């Protein structure tokens, strides 16, 4: 009899093991982070994720994929260069070779994310990873295949910005803080992890967003603004009002607003997690808190391109004096091309360098002008984004244009090779530059030149304007040609000029 009882108990135990009797298996959800290995924001995101792994590893599969470009011939491109590609591959090889040590390896490498190569071996040894096997993977076809597969995963979710977060298949766009990641994970896991019981919750509050639906210009767009605020405040709720409605006009007037879009927070914002990040940009208005976002659209003035008399003065669009500075109302001058630059802006110098090919292509069919972006101070001096050196160079280049109208671009092209170096290396063939730029004449030239950019509100270097009216952006010869020819049918438009190639896509933000 005892033998049969023993057999029954044994069978019961075996059956229990076979059916998973005991602790229930947990269905983990995926946490996917898409990065560039040398992007500072990507490495910060990895360190952030590392800080929450310990409390949630039983419930979450924490994973990293990489953002780069697969050229299809066994080579790759990435925003931060070949060293970043190599870093991606080494990290992927660690993930394959020793997945349990992957995050510790990442944490080690992120101490010097700018130069991952220095820590390939040392971080492997620190974490007990066989460097010989790792190097074989990274230097061989396995590493290339791993990166190619990882890129496909990034492309599948359209991850172009480093970092991009996906939690349980949903893109996460909330604040990049430890507690907000923890809250999101708890939400996705039905608050099952023990850590979820201890988490405080963020404060919910309302943000009044006032727009003007009549305005279609970029400065009136609010999608990016709302995304940024959502990234800062996890519990923000938008209450949207349109100036084009009676309620919108009343809100605008009652709160003494001048420009749109405008954001005004309710009192509860002061209790939100990240209030300190915006506090210095807030002004109290009637119990609300108005956020300074640098808005420039004045809804009381005429909208210059909607065929409506918005100000009820009998004058619509360009006929109204409000529209004098609107580029669409400027007189069209065929064959003219203006560029607005800061002389020491790297993109501005590239744009000016591209003009060598453009000017050769069009010859006398193009009337080209260089304009500078700066501001005049109340004491008669000037301010420019890259400092006094840029102000001085703006003046020297204007002096070159004043005295050498047919060859001043040769001076500019020479300077662009070393824009912050000694200008006298390039001014030998332009002897009048020094006297002009160091006296009152040069300052007068800059004072007059910057009026155009300031009048029409151009602040980005480079910005182009075709025929005195039509704006565009670009830094390569083909883009410049294409936009110029859109409004000018002249000889040279049939040519194919140099364009940017092999520029990796994506952003590090």
**Is 34 within 8 Å of 159 (Cβ atoms)?**
yes
* Residue 241 three-state SS: strand
Model confidence at 507, in pLDDT bands (50, 70, 90)? low
Whether the predicted pLDDT of 273 surpasses 70? yes
Output the pLDDT for position 325. Answer: 83
In Å, the largest CA–CA distance within the chain is 118
Average pLDDT over residues 261-289: 96
Give the residue from 141, 36, 153, 154 showing the smallest Cα distance to 93. Answer: 141
Contacts with 266 (C-beta within 8 Å, 6 or more apart), sequence order: 205, 206, 207, 208, 288, 289
Whether the predicted pLDDT of 21 surpasses 90? no
* Average pLDDT of every residue of the chain: 92
Q: How far apart are CA 350 and CA 40, in angstroms?
A: 25
29-197, what's its fold?
Glutaredoxin (3.40.30)
Give the residue from 397, 346, 382, 373 showing the smallest Cα distance to 465. Answer: 373
395-436 pLDDT per residue, tens: 999 999 999 999 999 999 999 999 999 999 999 999 999 999
How many CB atoms lie under 10 A from the CB of residue 294? 7
Q: Give the orientation angle of helix 131-139 with respect to helix 82-97, to 10 degrees.
A: 130
How many CB atoms lie under 10 A from the CB of residue 387? 11
Whether the predicted pLDDT of 17 surpasses 60? no
To the nearest 10°, report the CA torsion of 354, 357, 360, 364. -40
Q: How far apart are CA 296 and CA 454, in angstroms?
A: 13
Q: How far apart are CA 79 and CA 44, in angstroms?
A: 17
**Is 429 within 8 Å of 385 (Cβ atoms)?**
no
Q: How far apart are CA 212 and CA 197, in angstroms?
A: 44
Model confidence at 198, in pLDDT bands (50, 70, 90)? confident
Model confidence at 27, in pLDDT bands (50, 70, 90)? confident
Output the pLDDT for position 64. Answer: 98
Whether the predicted pLDDT of 257 surpasses 50? yes
At residue 268's C-alpha, the angle toward residues 262 and 272, to 5°, is 95
Q: Which CATH architecture has domain 205-291?
A: 3-Layer(aba) Sandwich (3.40)
Model confidence at 500, in pLDDT bands (50, 70, 90)? low
Output the pLDDT for position 499. Answer: 87
Give the residue from 61, 153, 139 showing the smallest Cα distance to 103. Answer: 61
Output the pLDDT for position 15. Answer: 39
Radius of gyration from C-alpha coordinates of the chain: 30
Whether the predicted pLDDT of 5 surpasses 70? no
Whether the predicted pLDDT of 9 surpasses 60? no
113-168 pLDDT per residue, tens: 999 999 999 999 999 999 999 999 999 999 999 999 999 999 999 999 999 999 99
The two tokens of residue 201 are 């919750």
Average pLDDT over residues 28-56: 97
Is the link from the previous residue into 261 a cis peptide, with omega within 30 of 0? yes
Task: Decide whether 29-197 matches 205-291 in CATH topology.
Answer: yes
**Is 45 within 8 Å of 165 (Cβ atoms)?**
yes
Model confidence at 330, in pLDDT bands (50, 70, 90)? very high
- Return the domain boundaries, the chain: 29-197, 205-291, 331-508
Output the pLDDT for position 18. Answer: 39
Q: How far apart are CA 309 and CA 300, in angstroms?
A: 12
65-117 pLDDT per residue, tens: 999 999 999 999 998 999 999 999 999 999 999 999 999 999 999 999 999 99
In the chain, % of residues over pLDDT 90: 89
Average pLDDT over residues 367-389: 96
Q: Rounded to 5 degrees, what are φ and ψ at 186?
A: -60, -40
CATH number given to 331-508: 3.40.30.10
**Is 137 within 8 Å of 130 (Cβ atoms)?**
no
Give the residue from 465, 211, 480, 216 showing the smallest Cα distance to 358. Answer: 480
Whether the predicted pLDDT of 4 surpasses 80? no
382-404 pLDDT per residue, tens: 999 999 999 999 999 999 999 99
* Residue 149 three-state SS: helix
* β-bridge mates for residue 208, sequence order: 239, 264
Q: How far apart are CA 469 and CA 328, in angstroms?
A: 6
Q: How many residues does the chain have?
A: 509
Model confidence at 506, in pLDDT bands (50, 70, 90)? low
Average pLDDT over residues 14-42: 72
């Amino acid at each position: 009899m005892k033998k049969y009882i023993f057999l029954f108990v044994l069978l019961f135990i075996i059956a229990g093991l076979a059916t998973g009797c005991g602790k229930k298996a947990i269905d983990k959800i995926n946490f996917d982070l898409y990065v560039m290995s040398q992007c500072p924001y990507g490495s910060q995101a990895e360190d952030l994720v590392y800080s929450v792994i310990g409390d949630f590893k039983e419930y979450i599969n924490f994973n990293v994929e990489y953002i780069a470009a697969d050229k299809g011939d066994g080579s790759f491109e990435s925003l931060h260069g070949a060293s970043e590609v190599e870093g991606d591959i080494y990290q992927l090889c660690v993930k394959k070779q020793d997945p349990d040590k992957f995050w510790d390896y990442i944490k080690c490498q992120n101490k010097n994310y700018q130069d991952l190569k220095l820590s390939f071996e040392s971080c492997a040894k620190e974490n007990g990873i066989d460097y010989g096997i790792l190097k074989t993977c990274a230097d061989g076809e396995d590493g290339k295949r791993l990166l190619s597969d990882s890129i496909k995963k990034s492309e599948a979710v359209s991850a172009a910005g480093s970092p991009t977060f996906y939690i349980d298949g949903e893109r996460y766009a909330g604040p990049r803080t430890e507690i907000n990641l923890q809250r999101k994970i708890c939400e996705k896991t039905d608050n099952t992890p023990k850590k979820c019981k201890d988490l405080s919750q963020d404060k919910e509050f309302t943000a009044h967003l006032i727009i003007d639906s009549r305005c279609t210009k970029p400065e009136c767009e609010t999608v990016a603004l709302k995304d940024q605020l959502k990234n800062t405040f996890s519990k923000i709720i938008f209450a949207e009002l349109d100036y084009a409605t009676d309620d919108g006009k009343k809100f605008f007037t009652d709160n003494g607003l001048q420009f749109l879009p405008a954001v005004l927070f309710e009192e509860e914002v002061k209790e939100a997690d990240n209030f300190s990040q915006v506090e210095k940009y807030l002004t109290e208005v009637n119990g609300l808190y108005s956020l300074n976002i640098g808005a420039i659209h004045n809804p009381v003035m005429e909208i210059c391109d909607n065929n409506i008399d918005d100000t009820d003065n009998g004058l619509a669009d360009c006929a109204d004096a409000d529209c004098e500075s609107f580029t669409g109302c400027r007189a069209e001058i065929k064959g003219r091309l203006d560029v607005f630059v800061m002389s020491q802006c790297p993109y501005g110098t590239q744009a000016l360098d591209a003009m060598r090919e453009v000017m050769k292509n069009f010859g006398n069919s193009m009337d080209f002008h260089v304009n500078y972006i700066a501001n005049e101070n109340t004491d008669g001096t000037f301010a420019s984004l890259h400092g006094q050196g840029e102000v001085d160079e703006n003046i020297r280049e204007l002096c070159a244009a004043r005295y050498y109208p047919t060859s001043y671009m040769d001076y500019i092209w020479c300077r662009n090779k070393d824009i912050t170096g000694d200008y006298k290396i390039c001014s030998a063939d332009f002897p009048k530059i020094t006297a002009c730029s160091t006296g009152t004449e040069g300052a007068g030239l800059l004072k007059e030149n910057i009026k155009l950019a300031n009048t029409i509100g151009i602040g980005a270097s480079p910005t182009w304007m075709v025929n005195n009216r039509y704006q565009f952006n670009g830094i390569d010869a083909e883009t410049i040609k294409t936009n110029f020819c859109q409004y000018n049918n002249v000889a040279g438009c049939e040519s194919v000029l140099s364009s940017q190639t092999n520029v990796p896509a994506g952003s590090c933000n």
